Every structure is written in structure tokens, then in C-alpha cells.
Amino acid sequence: MGIRDIEKMEKMGNFEIMERIAGHEQVLICNRPEVGLRAIISIHDTTFGPALGGTRMQMYNSFDEALDDSLKLSRGMTYKCIGADVDFGGGKGVIIGNPKTDRKPELFRAYGQMVDSLHKRFYTGTDMGTEIRDFTHAFKETRQIAGKPPEFHGGGDSSEPTALGVIYGIEAANKELYGTRDIASRTYAVQGLGKVGFKVAEHLLARGAKIFAADINRDSVKAIADRADALDGEVEFVPLEDIYTVDADVFVPCAIGGVINDETLKDFRMQAIVGSANNVLASDPHGEMVHERGILYAPDYIVNSGGLIQVADELYGANPDRVMAKTRSIGHSLERIFDISKEKNIGTFRAADEMCEQKLELRRKMDSMFSAGGRPKWDFDN
Ligand code: NAD
């Protein structure tokens, strides 16, 4: 926040915003009417390294709503970065605007200047409502852009590592439930055959598993049927609403959030939930419900962190082999989370948060031991 903003708030006698941003390191607000940029960047925590998080563009109803979104999402990124074991902290940008009509080059150039003003404390890229070509404009103003296409020395499409992370997650869940990582001996209900879900389905079929699949897009359904023929695999298509009640072992949500809710849990019989979709649980109580019913839930932000691993890796100079090796560690993190959940008899979603909080606390203690020398300087050559 700029000093003038604070003085204005003091005059207003209103410290409500200061209370809301408590717990975050920094919030930057920008209003550039000449290019139509109204944006907020929230940096939650940089203990592990500079903040990393996408920038979304959305028509928020109010400044408060946009601020709350950026605060919540940047906090989530701290956990996600710790869970993925990348040396970055949590941050998020939000641009208040209509993604269909307001995505202008000059707006993104101005956004690039805003990002640059943070002097390598924040790295960003696409999220809901923004595309990589928007960030090619921002890239003219700042090097603090991640998730770039290969022609900009970036890692490109992140759905492959994300899909692989889901496969490692399924292996970890199978080991926990059935004592073996073997994929072929189980059945899977894949919801969503988009960039990630299609690749997950392909991996499962290639490894000899039977899958049930549902997607609102008929072309995707046709494409996976063709792939199944080519791989000599077995896929059974089900109506959208039936994907929750099929007689499969593992539910693999790769479409939308909130799919584990009161309604879908009614006749849910599958033993595990492992997928790429964000915010799979409609709420924390649904995470408790799942735990009480003995359904093994692999926390979404751990399972789907393959894409984040690739984006973070790019800032050290993109290296696909390193990304694949690191993505493998998603399975190990899940095994640790399943252990914490059993030891403490808490839901896996809570166990994941606890694991990240413990790592954060330990790192803070380590840093304080060496604080005389100051924190290491972050620098990337891209
Ligand atoms: P996508 O848009 O390419 O694919 C989503 C697919 O789900 C589409 O084929 C769509 O038709 C289908 N779909 C939508 N609603 C559906 C419904 N009700 N029932 C069945 N199918 C439905 O998206 P994606 O990149 O594959 O991402 C999938 C999920 O994983 C999203 O929740 C995304 O946020 C999350 N995720 C993706 C990445 C990544 O690297 N792409 C990384 C982390 C998390």
C-alpha cells in the first residue's frame, strides 16, 4: 500500500483494510485509468522465496471482493508452493475487468510495470481469464513472468506434468488402500477430458486400466474413444451426473471444483478421490465427511502441483527432465500426508495444511538462526 493510501485511510479513521490484510506481507493496489488497469497484487509469504502466483482477470462486484480473492488465493499459493517443495512463496494478482472485452496490450504492459515495481518479489503468469499472449505484452516491461511458451524460453503447456502428478497420486492412493501401486488392477471414473483429464485417461488406458469417463464436450469423448481403440484399452462413457455413482475404485475429478458435496456424496461408493481439479471439496466439512466415511482423499493442491513445478522450474532455466523428476515427489508428499492423517486421525486435507505449516515454521526458525547475514538474494537470469 502506498503512503498516501494509508494517510487517506487514517483520515477516514478506518483501519478495517489493515486488519484484513494482516498476515500478508504486502498488498499493492494500482489504478491506471488511461489504460483501464485496476489491479491488486497480494504477497502472502516469501519465507521460502519470492512470491509466485498467476494473475486472474474477472468482473468483481466491488474492490472488497477483488481484495478478498487476491488475499485468499495468495495464501493458498504459499501452501501450494510449500507442498510442491519449490522455493517460492505465495502471491496472486487480480485484474478487475471483463476478460472478453478488456484484455488490451496496453493494459498488460501497464500490469507488467506494476509487477516490475515489486523488484523480483513477485513472479506471475496466466490464470482464469488471462492467456499467455497477454503476458507477452507484460514481458516487455518485466522479466518477472513465468509459464511462458517455449519460444520465450518457457516450459510451455503445463498439463503434461499436471497429468503425471495425478498418476503418481493415484499410485500413492492405491498403495495406501491396496498395498500396491499397480494401476491396471483398479478401475477409475474420470470426470473431464480436457487438457489434463485427457492425458490422465490416456496414461490409465496405456497401463491397462478400465476407465469410466464423462465430459460435456462430445469431441473429447470421441477423441478418448479413438485413443482407447488405438491403445486397446477399455473406456465406458457415462452420463455427466452418473460419474459419481459408477462402480469404480478411484474418482478422478479433472473438470470443475466443488464436486464433492452433499448431493454427490449420497450414493458415492468409490474408495479414493485423486484428481487435478482445484477446490474439489465444496467445503471443509465435506473433507471431514469423506474422512469419516473412510474415503481416501488426495488433497487437490498437492496432486495438481505438477504444473506449478514446471512454472517454478522455468525461472531457473526450463529443464523438462528436472520437472519430471520433481513431479515424481508428489507421490512421496501424499504418502507423508496419508501418514499424518492416520497418526492424528484428521482428514487428509487438514494433514496437508499441517505438513505445510510445519515446514514453514521450521524454515522460519532456520532463517532466524542466520538472520545476521540477511536473506539470500533472489535472482533469476531469465
Ligand atoms: P480444461 O478446460 O482443458 O478441461 C476441463 C474439461 O472438463 C473440459 O473438457 C470440459 O468440457 C470438461 N467439463 C467441464 N464441466 C464438466 C462437467 N460438469 N462434467 C464433465 N466434464 C466437464 O482444463 P484443464 O487444464 O484440463 O484443467 C482441469 C482442472 O484441473 C481444472 O479444475 C483446473 O483448474 C485444474 N488444474 C489444471 C492445471 C493445468 O496444468 N492445466 C494445473 C492445476 C490444476
What's 256's domain CATH number?
3.40.50.720
In a domain, 93, yes or no: yes
Q: Is residue 16 part of a domain?
A: yes
Cα 29 to ligand 1 centre (Å): 31
User: Binning pLDDT at 50, 70 and 90, where does residue 7 land?
Assistant: low
Q: Is the pLDDT of residue 375 over 70?
A: no
341 and 194 in a single domain? The answer is yes
**Confidence band (pLDDT; 50, 70, 90) for 8?**
low
Q: Is the pLDDT of residue 11 over 80?
A: no
Q: Say whether 192 counts as a known binding-site residue.
A: yes
* Helices and strands per DSSP (H, E), number in the chain: 14, 12
| C-alpha 294 to ligand 1 mean position (Å) | 26
User: Are the C-beta atoms of 360 and 47 separated by less than 8 Å?
Assistant: yes
For the segment 326-348, the average pLDDT, to the nearest whole number, is 97
Residue 337 in domain: yes
pLDDT of 300 > 70? The answer is yes
Same-domain pairing of 166 and 296: yes
- The answer to whether residue 170 scores a pLDDT higher than 70 is yes
Per-residue confidence at 345, pLDDT binned at 50, 70, 90? very high
* Closest residue to atom 25 of ligand 1, CA basis: 195
- Domain shared by 174 and 138, yes or no: no
pLDDT at 321 over 60: yes
pLDDT at 285: 97
Q: Do residue 141 and residue 180 come from a single domain?
A: no
Alpha helices in the chain (DSSP H): 3-12, 16-21, 63-84, 105-116, 132-138, 159-178, 195-206, 218-231, 262-265, 284-292, 300-303, 306-314, 320-344, 348-369
Same domain membership, residue 224 and residue 295 = yes
> Do residue 93 and residue 189 come from a single domain?
no
Judge whether residue 32 has pLDDT over 90: yes
Instruction: Examine the pLDDT at 379 and tell me if it is beyond 80.
Output: no
Is residue 193 within 6 Å of ligand 1 at its C-beta? yes
Active site residue 92: yes
Please name the residue that has the C-alpha cell 494517510. 7
Say how far apart CA 351 and CA 363 lie, in whole Å: 18
Distance of alpha carbon 352 from alpha carbon 139, whole angstroms? 34
Q: Say if residue 103's pLDDT is above 90.
A: yes
Structural domain range at position 210: 159-359
pLDDT band for position 72 (cuts 50, 70, 90):
very high
CA of 279, closest atom in ligand 1: 32
254 lines ligand 1 (CB under 6 A): yes
pLDDT of residue 106: 98
Q: Does 372 score more than 60 pLDDT?
A: no
Instruction: Looking at the structure, tell me whether residues 127 and 216 fall in a common domain.
Output: no
Residues 179 and 257 in one domain: yes
* Shortest-distance Cα residue to atom 19 of ligand 1: 215
247 and 134 in one domain?
no
On the question of pLDDT at 13 being above 90, the answer is no
Asked if the structure places residue 367 within a domain, the reply is no
What does the mean pLDDT of the chain come to? 93
Which CATH number characterizes residue 53's domain? 3.40.50.10860
Nearest Cα residue to atom 30 of ligand 1: 277
Q: Tell whether 286 is covered by a domain.
A: yes
Whether 193 has a binding-site annotation, put simply, is yes
Number of structural domains (the chain) is 2
Check pocket membership of 304 for ligand 1, CB cut-off 6 A: yes
Ligand 1 site, residue 256, Cβ cutoff 6 A: yes
Alpha carbon 71 to chain centroid, angstroms? 15
Of all residues in the chain, what percent carry a pLDDT higher than 90? 86
Percent of residues, the chain, with pLDDT higher than 70:
93
Lowest-confidence pick of 177-191, 278-292, 297-311, 359-373: 359-373
